[in-house]
Amino acid sequence: MPHEETVYDALDHAHGGEGHWAFGTGFDEPLAGVDTTVPDGVDPADLGAYCLMLGDDALVLAQRLTQWITAAPELEEEVAIGNTALDLLGQARLLLARAGSVGVLGRSRERATDSIPDEDALAYFRDADEFCNTGLVEAENGDFGQTVVRLLVASTVRLAVFARLRESRDPVLAAIAAKGVNELAYHRDHAARWVLRLGDGTAESHRRAQDGVDAVWPLLADVLTATDVERRLVAAGVAVDPADVREEVRDVLTTVLERATLRVPGWPADTPPRGRAGKHGPELTALLETLQGLARQHPAATW
């Protein structure tokens, strides 16, 4: 069957390069070939801790979004959610690898075999109290309405931070941010489109969207408060002060909610950082049990 051999051949040629895999699925170490020297005057421990904050946010939110796979409304949304989760997973890999490259590995290295890459040591072998994601991303998904509201809020905050982070004195962070900005802008738009449609759709969807907003808003309380690590890195020109993005975030969210005919809840009073300081709810413990269970059953294995 000469014709089919041609088809097989064509498939073979299609193998060239990793281009067909989504970002973050490459077979290489994420920071392979990147100069990871720490800029002058920057404390590597602070830089690594900051990368963990941003990386954990992405990892935990990716895990939450992945819970929708095989359960999403319509196949088109299944694919869209998959893309968003893949983007965030890619960001998490880069940021955790960056933390590892500056030697910030916490207790994970005592538990993980040497052959396990830093990104996985950090993702799989830290306990909940070592994670520094915010409470915003670890909360349960709720229904689709609450899920898109949370995605809107989280991607609005993250986009505002990443846009500024492109100017970071750490070239690795700046590069990660530059790549992430396009992804996050897309996530924010996607979430906003859904919030508009649910808020201004049917009576039921309006009610559900409003419930989602009301459930998510209190989680903003500690998201925009800087930790000491962030303050020192802001002074060193490496990090973004989350307080600086407050106005932008508030404007974007207010605009979207108003256009969606949703009531904008009062902004929660600032509280000291909780998630960033390793204080988490039982939701994160459960999430990590699922995420880490298999890897921890086989601590000497590489995959």
Partner 1 sequence: MSTDVTAEGGHGAIPTGPEVPTTTSPSVARRDWPLYEVFVRGKRGLNHVHVGSLHAPDDEMAVHAARDVYTRRNEGVSIWVVRAADITASSPDEKDPMFAPSGDKVYRHPTFYEIPEDVPHM
Partner 2 sequence: MSAPTLDRPTDEAALQQQFDATIAADRRIEPRDWMPEGYRKTLVRQIAQHAHSEIIGMQPEGDWLLAAPSLRRKAILLAKVQDEAGHGMYLYSAAETLGADRADLTDKLIESKQKYSSIFNYPTLTYADVGVIGWLVDGAAICNQVPLCRSSYGPYARAMIRICKEESFHQRQGYELLMTMMSGTPAQRAMVQDAVDRWWWPSLMMFGPPDDDSPNSAQSMAWGIKRHSNDELRQRYVDMSVPQAQFLGVTLPDPDLHFDEETGHWRFGAIDWDEFKRVVSGNGPANAERIRRRRAARDDNAWVTEAATAYAAKHAGAAVGSAA
Footprint of partner 1 (CB under 8 A) = 19-22, 74, 76, 79-80, 83, 189-190, 193, 197
- Distance (Å, whole) CA 136 – CA 150: 7
- Distance (Å, whole) CA 63 – CA 72: 14
CA nearest to 57, candidates 127, 123, 114, 111: 123
- Distance (Å, whole) CA 213 – CA 207: 10
Cβ at position 125, least distance to partner 2 in Å:
12
- Distance (Å, whole) CA 27 – CA 196: 38
Cβ at position 133, least distance to partner 2 in Å:
15
Q: What does 189 interact with, of partner 2, partner 1, none (CB < 5 to 8 A by kind)?
A: partner 1
Q: Are 273 and 280 in contact (CB under 8 A)?
A: no
Virtual torsion, Cα 84, 90, 94, 97, nearest 10 deg: 120
Place of tokens 């738009």: 189
**In what helix (H) or strand (E) does residue 43 lie, and over which residues does it extend?**
none
18 vs 247 by CB, closer to partner 1: 18
Q: What does 268 interact with, of partner 1, partner 2, none (CB < 5 to 8 A by kind)?
A: none
Q: Are 253 and 156 in contact (CB under 8 A)?
A: yes
46 vs 183 by CB, closer to partner 2: 183
Cβ at position 155, least distance to partner 1 in Å:
15
Q: What does 190 interact with, of partner 2, partner 1, none (CB < 5 to 8 A by kind)?
A: partner 1
Cβ at position 176, least distance to partner 1 in Å:
19
Q: Are 129 and 109 in contact (CB under 8 A)?
A: no
Q: Which residues sit at the interface with partner 2, rule CB under 8 A?
A: 3-4, 7-8, 10-12, 14-15, 20-22, 24-27, 59, 63, 66-67, 69-79, 82-83, 85-86, 89-90, 92-93, 96, 116-117, 119-120, 123-124, 143-145, 196-198, 200-202, 204-205, 208, 290-291, 293-295, 298, 300-303
166 vs 193 by CB, closer to partner 2: 193
Cα angle 30, 32, 33; round to 5: 140
197 vs 279 by CB, closer to partner 1: 197
Q: What does 93 interact with, of partner 1, partner 2, none (CB < 5 to 8 A by kind)?
A: partner 2
